[in-house]
Amino acid sequence: MEEIKIEATEKSPRVYFDPENRKFELEGNSRPENVREFFYPIIDKLREYFEDIINNGVEDNQNNPVKFVFQLEYFNSSSAKFISDILILIGNYHKKGMPVKIYWYFDEGDEDMMEVGEDFSEMIDIPFQMIMVSQ
Amino acid sequence: MDNNKNIISFEGHIDKNVVDNILHELKLKLKILNLEVLTRKRIYSASVECLDNIYRHSEIKTNRDKLSEDYPSRFIVKEAQEGYTIEAGNIVQNTEIKDLKGRLEKLNELEPVGVNSLYKDTIMKSAGLSDKGGAGLGLIVVAKTTRKNLFYDFQPLNNKYSYFILKVNIL
């Protein structure tokens, strides 16, 4: 499977997905012009990949979780829905046996971003590794 | 009102480019003010949702050009006695008022914890359904940024349109 590499802009986040190394990263600001066009292909690709993992990767899976890094500075309400879609998808495949590790970054003092991470974690019932970035 | 305390003050037609320009300028100005991270992010976050809301309304094509000239959209961020005030104003259709008022009243009745659970519920229910923030998530986000009530007013312009003003205070 091909990787995804989307550079960050002032309005849209950096997206990096490396299937071979089982790593997905979403970083920066998110209020893309057309939020659906931005997130749908990413969500489709992840779904396809998770399906492969479940079907083919059982032996590799035990000690090799898929890593997700969310290091968002800011996201708007429309993006929130799609970020939540990604997390729900991760949650669903985790239930089917896909091992995952989710890292949620927030700036020191940004209680809101920390809380959103905690809420998302609760929502999909997977503990997040919460990482505070000092200013 | 003391204009020197304005951080951003815009009046006129608000399209996509104007939204981008205002937010770019706001970001720079908030950096210079050297605010607490949370205050800075809350002002920015509420501003994005207010501006998106104005922009969405400006997309509605109606025969009201003269009205828009007389009552242009406006967006102001200024220092308040306590914290900062964001004020957004735009024309809305009278038919929208009932629903909008209902949502604003509901948000004002909730404690911060309640606003937060409404935010979570709304995200979960509407995940992926809409890219327009249609379920009112934008207003909920604005309510999340303030510990005070959302102040709002609808000033009737004619039998079809009113001018909607939304004010929030961020500490």
**What's the pTM value of the predicted model, to 2 decimals?**
0.91
Q: What mean pLDDT is predicted for residues B148-157?
A: 94
- When CB atoms are compared, the residue of A36, A88, A107 closest to B37 is A107
Q: Which residues pair with A130 in a beta bridge?
A: A104
CATH number at residue B90: 3.30.565.10
- Across the interface, do A77 and B137 touch by the CB < 8 Å criterion? yes
At B44 the pLDDT is 96
**Residue of B140 and B2 predicted with greater confidence:** B140
Is the pLDDT at B123 greater than 90? The verdict is: no
The single-letter code of the amino acid at B62 is: T
Range(s) of the domain holding residue B117: 3-170
Distance from CA of B131 to the nearest CA of A (A): 5
Quick one: which of B116, B60, B113, B120 has its CA closest to B91?
B60
Structure token digits, residue B101 = 């008022």
Whether B130 has a pLDDT exceeding 60, the answer reads no
Provide DSSP, A13-34. Answer: -EEEEETTTTEEEEEEEE--TT
- What token pair was written down for B98? 């009932």
Separation of alpha carbons A80 and A74, rounded Å: 10
- Looking at the predicted structure, is the pLDDT value of residue A23 above 90? yes
Q: Are the beta carbons of B9 and B29 closer than 8 angstroms?
A: no
For residues A63 and A21, which has the higher predicted lDDT (pLDDT)? A21
Q: What is the CATH number of domain A4-133?
A: 3.30.750
> Residue B125: pLDDT above 80?
no
B131 — pLDDT class (breaks 50, 70, 90): very low
pLDDT exceeds 50 at position B151: yes
Query: Does the beta-carbon distance from B38 to A10 stay under 8 Å?
Result: no
A10–B24 C-beta distance less than 8 A: yes
Query: For residue B129, what is the DSSP state?
Result: T
pLDDT reported for residue A60 = 63
Q: Sorting pLDDT into bands at 50, 70 and 90, what band is B142? A: very high
pLDDT at B118 over 50: yes
pLDDT of residue B34: 87
Phi-psi domain of B118 (left: phi exceeds 0; alpha: psi -120 through 50; beta: other): alpha
pLDDT at B86 over 60: yes
A94 against B125, higher pLDDT: A94
Q: B45-76: per-residue pLDDT in tens?
A: 999 999 999 988 776 555 557 888 889 999 99
Mean pLDDT, all residues of chain A = 93
Are B157 and B171 spatial neighbours (Cβ–Cβ below 8 Å)?
A: no
DSSP label of A86: H
For A96-122, how does the pLDDT look when each residue is reduced to its tens digit (9 = 90+)? 999 999 999 999 999 999 999 999 999
Cβ of B127 within 8 Å of Cβ of A81? The answer is: yes
Average pLDDT over residues A53-77: 85
Query: What is the per-residue pLDDT for B120?
Result: 87
The mean pLDDT value for A83-93 works out to 95
Interface test with A, best of B123, B124, B130 (most A CBs within 10 A): B123
Per DSSP bridges, beta strands B74-79 and B151-156 are unpaired
Domain boundaries, chain A: 4-133
Count of domains forming chain B: 1
User: How far apart are alpha carbons A68 and A103 in whole angstroms?
Assistant: 6
Local structure of residue A62 (DSSP, 8 states): T
